[in-house]
């Protein structure tokens, strides 16, 4: 066992111990851990992120929101004040496993009722592992309004084994896509008959900055609505000092898009994925899917007399959005000095092989990551299909499209409200005759609020199986994200997963542990995880519209061990049953 791994385990034990102390006496923090107490006012504000005036959700005025910067073992307290007037809010801490703090996972319909306007909800959790994580709205389609940010967790200085890859500076890059329609319009479109797709985003953003071609709005566009000279929409700048090595923590918070990220003329060494060290590999472009984080090292050793382009371009869908551009600025050149070159075009959008190859290249750094159990206790196969249900387009798993109940699952489980969600278990496999390469004859499916109940501490394999959508010759990329756990990524393949031949090819030696992983077109992805975190946890496609259209599952295990629901998490659905209006009256 690597010493970091040992330390991580010991730290986790210590942290669990600390948590229980912290909860009762936050005034006396342990000597080694700090408490970060934030107050976030959530409000709508007009922003010009891509030069187009759009009502955006801001945290203390910022879209994207402020970075959370903490040290492994620290406690994060965020008091979220909802000032959205008529809209509720819930914030998920993506990649934070919430061990012992399941009520702070921030998932509407799962762990809490969304927080109403005027109310304040306090999230409190420990960042128990160094790495790069993110936070974002987990309510309806609210994320697309810009309610997101990055979480940077560093190793403690006293750490005997420092970050295994030396670098000089640590920087953030938040990647996102940007729509001009608001989430209410998008949700209405997605629920309409006939179906109205949200379409490709209008802009791609690097650190919240992009550039929309205002002339597309016509020659008479009001300069107060779209204006390329608005200083708040100048390109993002990544300034480097010649000769130095930069660690870029890159987080993708797109609503839809998969990206290739690259820095013109510079190689990147991938060293971290979703908080786990990567056996380093060098690439010119990083493929990154919504919900993923990576750290890459970049040496600023190119021509220091000029600037370079940093770019994102859409892959896996036929692009209809201009590439996102930032300026990779060699100090002391002016940061607005445009590079003398044309931005690199990036890889072909439909070069699926290249993307699968990079997925396969992401392996855990030897000796630093816990190995997976050699076998699993249960295998759940999830066929990903697009379907119609009552005339509406939905996404389904094994022909079941999932929806969240009005009463959050965890409250229903803790309060024995068996009528809140469907008690019939969802299917664990699909018809072996299903033809994944063609449009299914029968695109009907059923809706359900059912959940997968897992034995606590058991080892579970998930085989994500992709298929053709309802459109001929089309299969999409789905980044699947698991709450409350990391999983080992045992393998990727193309075509239909073959239980007899593919299991033998699993990487059990150094699979990466991640919380988000792509399922490639017409392919499969195999995951293994230990159901060792009591509660009920979402597993879902991180494409916001796909999630809205039912592309999700719920994994419950050991929820009996979770503490009783805090009052703050309640107030919606059947949790009102518990209001005792005669206590004081």
Closer residue to a copy of itself (CB): 218 or 504 = 218
Report which DSSP code applies to 360.
H
Pick the piece of the chain touching a copy of itself (CB under 8 A) from 8-16, 59-67, 277-285, 576-584. Answer: 576-584
Least separation in angstroms between residue 141's CB and a copy of itself is: 7
Pick the piece of the chain touching a copy of itself (CB under 8 A) from 11-19, 116-124, 165-173, 453-461. Answer: 116-124
| Residue 406 near a copy of itself by CB under 8 A | yes
From candidates 41, 170, 415, 422, binder to a copy of itself by CB under 8 A: 415
CA angle 254, 409, 469 (to 5 degrees): 45
Tell which positions 39-78 bind a copy of itself, by CB under 8 A: 43-46, 55
Distance CA 223, CA 228 (A): 9
- What count of residues does the chain have? 585
| Residue 118 near a copy of itself by CB under 8 A | yes
- Cis peptide bond upstream of 229, omega within 30: no
Closer residue to a copy of itself (CB): 221 or 508 = 221
Residue 23, phi then psi, degrees to nearest 5? -65, -35
User: Which residue, among 199, 206, 215, 187, has the nearest Cα to 262 in the 3D structure?
Assistant: 206
Sort strands 258-263 and 285-288 into parallel, antiparallel or unpaired. Answer: antiparallel
From candidates 68, 114, 175, 310, binder to a copy of itself by CB under 8 A: 114
- Residue 483 burial class via C-beta count within 10 angstroms: exposed 0-12, middle 13-18, buried 19 and up: buried
Closer residue to a copy of itself (CB): 59 or 70 = 59
Distance CA 451, CA 448 (A): 9
Per DSSP, the three-state class of 440 is: coil
| Residue 473 near a copy of itself by CB under 8 A | no
Closer residue to a copy of itself (CB): 495 or 566 = 566
From candidates 282, 320, 360, 579, binder to a copy of itself by CB under 8 A: 579
- CA separation (Å) from 544 to 73, 164, 256? 31, 35, 7
| Residue 503 near a copy of itself by CB under 8 A | no
Residue 481, phi then psi, degrees to nearest 5? -125, 135
From candidates 20, 37, 39, 188, binder to a copy of itself by CB under 8 A: 188
| Residue 219 near a copy of itself by CB under 8 A | yes
Closer residue to a copy of itself (CB): 44 or 163 = 44
Least separation in angstroms between residue 55's CB and a copy of itself is: 5
Residues 6+ apart with CB under 8 A from 558: 456, 457, 531, 533, 534, 535
Distance CA 578, CA 570 (A): 9
Least separation in angstroms between residue 151's CB and a copy of itself is: 24
From candidates 414, 483, 530, 540, binder to a copy of itself by CB under 8 A: 414
Distance CA 397, CA 546 (A): 12
| Residue 220 near a copy of itself by CB under 8 A | yes
Question: Which residues of the shown chain bind a copy of itself in the complex (CB under 8 A)?
Answer: 43-46, 55, 84-88, 113-114, 116-119, 139-142, 182-185, 187-188, 192, 218-221, 405-406, 414-417, 564-568, 570-573, 575-585
């Amino acid at each position: 066992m690597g010493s970091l791994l040992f330390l991580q385990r010991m730290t986790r034990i210590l942290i669990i111990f600390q948590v229980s102390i912290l909860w009762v006496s936050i005034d006396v923090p342990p000597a080694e851990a700090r408490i970060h107490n934030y107050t976030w006012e959530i409000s709508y504000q007009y922003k010009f992120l891509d030069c187009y005036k759009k009502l955006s959700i801001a945290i203390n005025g910022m879209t994207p929101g402020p970075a959370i910067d903490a040290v492994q073992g620290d406690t994060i307290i965020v008091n979220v004040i909802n000032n959205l007037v008529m809209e509720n809010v819930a914030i998920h801490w993506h990649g934070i496993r919430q061990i012992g703090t399941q009520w702070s996972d921030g998932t509407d319909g799962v762990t809490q009722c969304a927080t109403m306007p005027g109310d304040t909800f306090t999230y409190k959790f420990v960042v128990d592992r160094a790495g790069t994580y993110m936070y974002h709205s987990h309510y309806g389609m609210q994320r697309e309004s810009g309610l997101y940010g990055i979480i940077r967790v560093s190793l403690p200085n006293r750490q005997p084994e420092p970050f295994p890859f030396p670098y000089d500076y640590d920087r953030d890059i938040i990647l996102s896509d940007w729509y001009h329609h608001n989430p209410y319009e998008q949700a209405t479109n997605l629920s309409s008959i006939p179906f109205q797709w949200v379409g490709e985003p209008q802009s791609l953003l690097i650190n919240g900055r992009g550039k929309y071609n205002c002339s597309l709005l016509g020659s008479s566009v009001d300069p107060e609505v779209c204006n390329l000279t608005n200083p708040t929409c100048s390109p993002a700048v990544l300034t480097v000092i010649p000769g130095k090595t930069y660690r870029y923590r890159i987080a993708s918070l797109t609503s839809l898009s998969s990206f290739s990220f690259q820095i013109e003329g510079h190689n990147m060494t991938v060293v971290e994925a979703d908080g786990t060290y990567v056996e380093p590999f060098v690439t010119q472009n990083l493929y990154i899917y919504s919900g993923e984080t990576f750290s890459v090292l970049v040496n600023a050793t190119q021509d220091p007399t000029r600037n370079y382009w940093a770019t994102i371009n859409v892959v896996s869908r036929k692009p209809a959005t201009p590439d996102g551009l930032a300026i990779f600025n060699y100090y002391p050149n002016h940061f607005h000095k445009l590079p003398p070159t044309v931005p690199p075009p990036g890889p072909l959008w439909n070069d699926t092989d290249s993307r699968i190859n990079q997925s396969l290249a992401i392996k855990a750094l030897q000796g630093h990551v816990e190995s997976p159990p050699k076998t699993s206790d249960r295998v759940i196969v999830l066929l990903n299909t697009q379907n119609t249900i009552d005339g509406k387009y939905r996404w389904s798993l094994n022909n079941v499209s999932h929806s969240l109940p009005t009463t959050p699952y965890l409250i229903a489980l803790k309060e024995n409200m068996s009528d809140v969600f469907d008690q019939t278990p969802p299917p664990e496999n699909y018809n072996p005759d299903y033809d994944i390469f063609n449009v299914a004859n029968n695109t009907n499916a059923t809706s359900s609020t059912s959940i997968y109940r897992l034995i606590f501490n058991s080892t579970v394999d998930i085989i994500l199986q992709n298929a053709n959508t309802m459109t001929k010759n089309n299969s999409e990329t789905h980044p699947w994200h698991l709450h409350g756990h990391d999983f080992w990524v045992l393998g990727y393949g193309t075509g239909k997963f073959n239980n007899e031949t593919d299991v033998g090819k699993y990487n059990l030696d150094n699979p990466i542990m991640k919380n988000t992983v792509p399922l490639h077109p017409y392919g499969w992805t195999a995951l293994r995880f230990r159901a060792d975190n009591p509660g009920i946890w979402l597993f879902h496609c991180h494409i916001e519209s796909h999630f809205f259209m039912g592309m999700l599952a719920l994994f419950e295990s050991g929820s009996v061990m979770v503490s009783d629901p805090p009052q703050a998490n309640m107030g919606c659905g059947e949790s009102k049953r518990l209001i005792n209006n005669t206590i004081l009256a």
